[in-house]
Amino acid sequence: MYSGVGAIAGILGGMLGIGGGLIIVPMLIFCFNLEGITDERAMHLALGTSMASIMFTAASSAIAHHRRNNVEWIVVRRLTAGILIGAFIGTCIVALIPAATLKMLFVVFLSYVAIQMVVGKKPKPSRVLPGPVGMAGAGGVIGLVSSWVGIGGGTLSVPFMVWHNVPLKSAIGTSAALGFPIAVAGTIGYLYNGMGVADRPPHTIGYIYLPALAGIAVVSTLTAPLGARIANATPVDRLKKVFAVLLLVVAVRMIVGLL
């Protein structure tokens, strides 16, 4: 079951430069409910486990994109400091938010990302990436929001870079590399904030469910290079629109669950 989640997450991570959390989180909630894990704990465990699994997916995807010269490492360096701080702070805030509120935030975020993908506004040709201070601030926002919704940051960093006229395939490859520091900081935060919770299910460390992490990590590491290969050979704009429809479907299903 969790291996299937990992296969999908790996392909999407390599193909679109995302850590796969947009798909991992709702699928994990569904799997956790099948296992009888309470809804109140399921959302936090899904976010923490998603973050931990993204470390493996992002590393595999970044290596694959690097081999195709699609990673702008100077952008990675300038964003990373802000990302690390923002992601850890975000996990501390999430630990205080009720599960139903987290789900609603996640649904709003899914819908926003989907609309942005469909609209696909073009930036002014003169727009370039900001300086070191602006990049650090952008990294903080990307890390903060990513840790809130358990993603690798690609749904924020790819539009951010494309909006500043970074070529789309380079933005996807760079975003894949950025997913690793986001995931590391987020994982540490979910470990720390979940350790004091008494009613966690067995086989968990903090807010990370180890059986799910193992299944996702092993398979996503193998499938992420396949996703990178698909991205390199396919018109990404078309793929993004298909993915946008998928995000809206997931959002609708989660809204139905909330109601």
- Per DSSP, the residues of 90-109 read HHHHHTTS-HHHHHHHHHHH
Summarised one tens digit per residue, pLDDT across range 181-215 is: 988 988 998 898 888 887 888 899 999 999 999 99
Burial of 55 (0-12, 13-18, 19+ CB in 10 A): buried
Give the residue with greater pLDDT, 85 vs 40. Answer: 85
Which H or E run contains 237? helix 236-258
Cα–Cα dist 156/138, whole Å: 10
Q: Estimate the share of the chain in helix, then strand, then coil, as percent rounded to the nearest 5.
A: 80, 0, 20
Report pLDDT for 239. Answer: 65
pTM for the full model?
Answer: 0.78
Return the SS3 of 209.
Answer: strand
Whether the predicted pLDDT of 241 surpasses 70: yes
pLDDT band at 37 (very low <50, low <70, confident <90, very high): confident
- Over the range 90-123, which residues count as b (16 or more CB within 10 Å of their CB) and which as e? bbeebbeeebeebbeebbebbbebbebbeeeeee
Q: What are the two backbone dihedrals, phi and then psi, of residue 208, each rounded to the nearest 5 degrees?
A: -115, 120
pLDDT tens digit sequence for 100-128 = 777 777 778 767 767 776 776 666 777 78
Q: Give 42's pLDDT tier (boundaries 50, 70, 90).
A: confident
**Structural domain span for residue 94:** 2-258
**DSSP conformation letters of 147-186:** HHHT--SHHHHHHHHHHTT--HHHHHHHHHHHHHHHHHHH
Distance CA 219, CA 195 (A): 27
Cβ–Cβ < 8 Å for 48, 206: yes
| Predicted pLDDT of residue 52 | 92
Total number of domains constituting the chain:
1
Would you state the pLDDT for residue 39? 66
Q: For residues 241 and 11, give the distance between their C-alpha atoms in angstroms, rounded to a whole number.
A: 16
AA letter at 113: V
Whole-number pLDDT of residue 254: 66
Q: What is the mean pLDDT of the segment spanning 70-80?
A: 93
pLDDT at 41: 78
pLDDT band with cut points at 50, 70 and 90 for residue 18: low
